A and B are shown apart, each in its own frame.
Chain A
Amino acid sequence: MGLLRFATAGSVDDGKSTLIGRLLYDTKSIFQDQLDSIEATSIQMGNDYTNLALLTDGLRAEREQGITIDVAYRYFATPKRKFIIADTPGHVQYTRNMVTGSSRADLVLILIDGRHGMTEQTRRHAFLTSLLRIPHVVVCVNKMDLIDYDEQAFEAVKKEFQNFAMKLEIPDLTFIPMSALHGDNVVSRSPNMEWYQGSSLLHHLEQLHIASDRNHIDARFPVQYVIRPQSGEYHDYRGYAGTVVGGVFKVGDEVLILPSGLTSTVASLESFDGPVSEAFGPMAITMRLTGDIDISRGDMICRPNNRPQSSRYVQSMICWMSEKLEFEPGMKLAIKHSTKSSRVIVADLQYRINLDTLHREMDPDSLALNEIGRASLQTTEPLFFDEYRRNRNTGSFILIDEATNATVAAGIIVGSGV
C-alpha cells in the first residue's frame, strides 16, 4: 500500500469542507466522538446543520470567528492507499497557505462551484499549482445537484478551465462533476450523471500512478549527517546519512562529490535493517564510499556524468510570505537549500506576477505578502541545484529573515546566472 499526498484548494463556500468531510466520513475516518463534538458545537453556534468545517478548524480563534487560520492535515486510508490531505483555506493568505500545503503534494484538488464557473480564486489556484509543478490536478465541478446534473453546464466549466490552463503547465488534468453534499461521484459513480464516463474521485485517487512522478534519472544525494560511531566494534566506520532526492544509487556506482569534485565508488548502502543493493527517493539511507575522502553536511553526492548545476547565482521565483517585511533588491537573507544553509543578497527583482491577469509587471520596487515575482539571488557559497521543473527537492529553497528567524519566502529555482 502506497501513500498519496494531496492538497485541496477552493474559494469560500464552494463546498471544500463538505467534500473533505464526505471523503473522511465515507472511508470511516471520522470517529463518533468527533462527530458528537462538532454537532454540539454546531448547535451552540446556531448552525442549522452539522458544520463539517469544524473538523479541521480546531483552534479557539477559528471556532470563535468561524474562519480557518492555517493549513490543517487530515488522514484517511482505503485498502488501496493511505492519503494525507493538506487542507488549505481559500480566502485569507491563500497564497502562503496554498504554497505551504501543496509544496509536497502529488495532486491538488481544485473545487469550482458549477453554478458560477471559474472565479479569480480558481485562476490563482491553477497558477500556483502550475508554478509548484504539482504533477496531477483534479478539477471538481461541484454542486451539480443545483444545476440539474446538467452535462452542458459541466462541459462549459471544463472548457473554460482548459482554455485558461493552456497558458499554464499542468501535466495531468482531470475533471469530475460532483455533488459533495449528496455524494455524487465522490466515492462511487453517480446514477444522476450517466453521461459522465470517468471515475469517481476516490477511485481516481486510489488508482493514480505516481511512482514515475519522481525523478529517477538524476542521482542526487545531499549529505545530511556523518555517522561516526567511535565505538570498538565500528572503530573506523564512517557513513554518510541522508535522503535520496533523485535518481537511483547502486553499490559499485562511481560517484562524484561536490564541492570537492573528487570521485569515489559506492562501497555499500546501509540501513539498520541491513544492506540494500540500490537506493532511490525518498529512502533515508547511509552511504559508504571507498577511499578516504573528507565529506561533510551540505556536500552533494551525484554521478560524474550527471551533476547538478553549481553556482553562486540563482534565478528564482519567489513567493513572499512575510507580513512585516517586503522583499526588495539589496536585501540580505539566510537561505536553506537541500542540506545547505547559507546567506544570500537579492541582486535583482525583474518582475512581479499579477495573479489576476498573470501578466508580468516589470521592475517592481518590492514584493509584499502573498506576492510572487522573479528575482536573481547571489549566495555566499555555491549551491548545488537543478531546475525545479526537473527536481522539486534540489530546485527549491526557503529564505529566512535573520533578525526574526521567520521563514519569509518559498523559492523555486528556474535557472542559474545573473
Chain B
Amino acid sequence: MSITAYELSHLDTLEAESIHIFREVAAEFEQPCLMFSGGKDSLVMLHLASKAFWPARLPFPIIHIDTGHNFPEVLEFRDQVIEKLGARLLVASVQQSIDDGKVVEETGPRASRNRLQITTLLDAIEEHRFDALFGGARRDEEKARSKERVYSFRDNFGQWNPKNQRPELWNLYNGRINQDEHIRVFPISNWTEIDVWQYIRREKIDIPNIYFAHNRQVFSRDGMWLADSEYVTRTEDEKVLTRKIRYRTIGDMSCTGAVDSDAETIEQIIEEVSATRITERGETRADDITSETSMEDRKKEGYF
C-alpha cells in the first residue's frame, strides 16, 4: 500500500470502497451470493471478497449461471480457482431450464442463450432464497449501467426499474427489502476497464489464458471474430481461418468476439487497452449491439 501524506492511490481507494460494500452486505443480508462468470471482473470480485473477510472464508457461496456455451478453458479455470479458495460453488444450468421446458432454445445462425440465462438466474435466486447477489458490472461498461446504483433493488420478478431507484447517499446503502425481493450489489461500479487490468497486474491475479494472444479458428461476423464452435451455425459465406487473437471480455462462445492481438503479457494487454479507441462491449459483445437499449431492456427483465 502506497501512503503519502495520508492519501491513498486510486486503486487503494477503489479497493477500500469495494471491500466496504462486501462487508456491508455480509453484515446486513441473510443469504448473499456472488455471481461468477470466470471473466476478469468476476475474478477481481473474488479477490476483493477474499480480502474483505480474510482470514475467514467467504461467508457466502458462489453461483455460476452455466449457459452450456462456455469456453472450455474458462470452465476448467473456474474449478481451479474455486478449489484453491475453498469456496462453495453452485451451478445453475441453462440446459436444465431448456430440458425442463421453462425456456425455448433460439434457432438460426444468431441463436444465443444470452437471454435464456435470465430465467435460469431468477429460478436459482428463488430456489436458494438469495436476498443479495454480487455482480461484477461496472458503470463505464454501458450507458444503462452508468445509471445503476451500487445496491440495485429488484422486485419479486427480479426486475430493475431505472425510473424508481433509491437515492444513494454518502456510503450509506439501503438494503431493506420485503420477502421475495432482492438486491443486486455491484462493488466495482466505480472501476474502469483499465483499473481492473492495473489491479490484476498489481495483485498478480490469475486469469484464464484466453485473455492472452493465441491462435484460434475463427470466422468473421458483424465485424467481430467469433470462435468456430459447435454452438454457432455458420452461413456459407462465413469461412473459418486461423488468426492470432485474444479475448477482451469473456461471455458465451456464441456471442463473444475476439480481437486481433499480439498481447502475451498483462503489461502488453494494458498497453493495448490503453491505446484502443473502441469500448470492450462494443468490440466484443454481439448481445449488446443489437439495439441502443438492449442492456437496459435485459436488465429490466432481471439480467445481471
Which residues of A are in contact with B by a Cβ distance under 8 Å? 1-3, 28, 31-34, 37, 41, 55-61, 63, 69-75, 77, 81-82, 84, 96, 99-100, 103-104, 210-211, 214, 216, 224-225, 227-231, 233-234, 237, 241-243, 248, 271-273, 276, 280, 282-284, 286, 297, 321, 334, 336-337, 339, 341, 392-393, 396-398, 400, 405-407, 410
CB atoms of B169 and A334 under 8 A apart: no
CB atoms of B13 and A58 under 8 A apart: no
With an 8 Å Cβ cutoff, the count of chain B residues facing the other chain is 65
Q: Mark B21-42, 1 if CB is under 8 A from A, else 0.
A: 0011011100000000000000
Q: A216 CA to B8 CA in the complex, in Å?
A: 13
Q: A3 CA to B190 CA in the complex, in Å?
A: 11
CB atoms of B166 and A284 under 8 A apart: no
CB atoms of B174 and A407 under 8 A apart: yes
Q: Which of B68-76, B137-145, B206-214, B239-247 contacts A (4 or more CB under 8 A)?
A: B137-145
Helix, strand, loop or mixed for chain A's interface?
A: mixed
Chain A residues, Cβ within 8 Å of B283: 33
Chain A residues, Cβ within 8 Å of B172: 336-337, 396-398
Beta-carbon contacts under 8 Å, B131-189 to A: 139-140, 142-144, 146-147, 162-163, 165-174, 176-178, 189
CB atoms of A224 and B20 under 8 A apart: yes
Q: Which of B48-56, B104-112, B119-127 contacts A (4 or more CB under 8 A)?
A: B48-56
Chain B residues, Cβ within 8 Å of A407: 166-169, 174
Other than the known A31-B279, A69-B147, A241-B53, what 13 A-B pairs have Cβ atoms closer than 8 Å?
A59-B296, A63-B292, A75-B139, A233-B55, A234-B55, A241-B23, A243-B171, A272-B50, A282-B13, A283-B12, A284-B16, A396-B172, A398-B169
Chain B residues, Cβ within 8 Å of A286: 54
Q: A83 CA to B8 CA in the complex, in Å?
A: 14
Max chain A C-beta neighbours (<10 A), residue from B6, B9, B17? B6
Chain A residues, Cβ within 8 Å of B23: 224-225, 241-242, 284
23 CB contacts below 8 A, A to B, read A1-B10, A2-B10, A2-B13, A3-B13, A34-B282, A37-B282, A59-B143, A60-B293, A74-B140, A82-B10, A211-B7, A225-B27, A229-B55, A233-B55, A282-B13, A283-B8, A284-B17, A284-B19, A284-B23, A339-B24, A400-B176, A405-B174, A410-B169
CB atoms of B190 and A84 under 8 A apart: yes
B155 → chain A, closest Cβ, in Å? Answer: 11
Chain B residues, Cβ within 8 Å of A214: 6
Chain A residues, Cβ within 8 Å of B176: 334, 400, 405
Chain A residues, Cβ within 8 Å of B279: 31, 33-34
CB atoms of B143 and A58 under 8 A apart: yes
Q: A105 CA to B13 CA in the complex, in Å?
A: 14
Q: A97 CA to B278 CA in the complex, in Å?
A: 30
Q: Say whether B192 faces chain A, with CB atoms less than 8 Å apart.
A: yes
